[in-house]
Amino acid sequence: MAAEASIQILCELTGLGQLQELAEKFTSVSTPTRALYQYMVQATANTAEALDVSDVATVDMLILKCVSNDVDLDLDFDTAFDADCTVQEGEVAVIPTPAGTVYFKNQDNDETSTIEYLVIGR
């Protein structure tokens, strides 16, 4: 049986006079052959760092949780850091097929961020 990567997000809002539900599912478009779970602490505040993806050459899905101190993500780093999205402390972001090398950087000045993430790919 081939490996398969899928993420299911369920949200239910109650108590505002009506029930709101949102169910979303992401499935990898290719068969993953590698995965990496990593916990990373930013080495220097105000300095962008590349995510360590080890031997995953093509990232099909990135699931990232900001453990401490809000973090900005650059999903297609080239020569300069350009934040594409922000993940607040305690929140999780699911990014299917990032466009390139992913870098992270603390959002607030003079803090170092801590993240944990799962990379799925080939």
Distance of CA 101 to the CA centre of its chain: 12
Q: Is 116 helix (H, G, I), strand (E, B) or coil?
A: strand
Q: What's the angle, vertex CA 35, arms to CA 51 and CA 84, rounded to 5?
A: 35
Distance CA 52, CA 55 (A): 9
Q: Which domains does the chain have, with CATH numbers?
A: 29-121 (2.60.120.770)
Dihedral sign, CA of 46, 47, 48, 50? negative
Distance between CA 96 and CA 46 in Å, rounded? 26
Give the model confidence (pLDDT) of 58-116 as tens digits: 998 899 999 999 999 999 999 999 999 999 999 999 888 898 999 999 998 899 999 99
Q: Is the dihedral of CA 105, 106, 109, 111 positive or negative?
A: negative
DSSP label at 77?
-
pTM of the entire structure?
Answer: 0.83
The answer to whether 70 touches 107, Cβ cutoff 8 Å, is yes
Q: For the chain, what percent of residues have pLDDT higher than 90?
A: 64
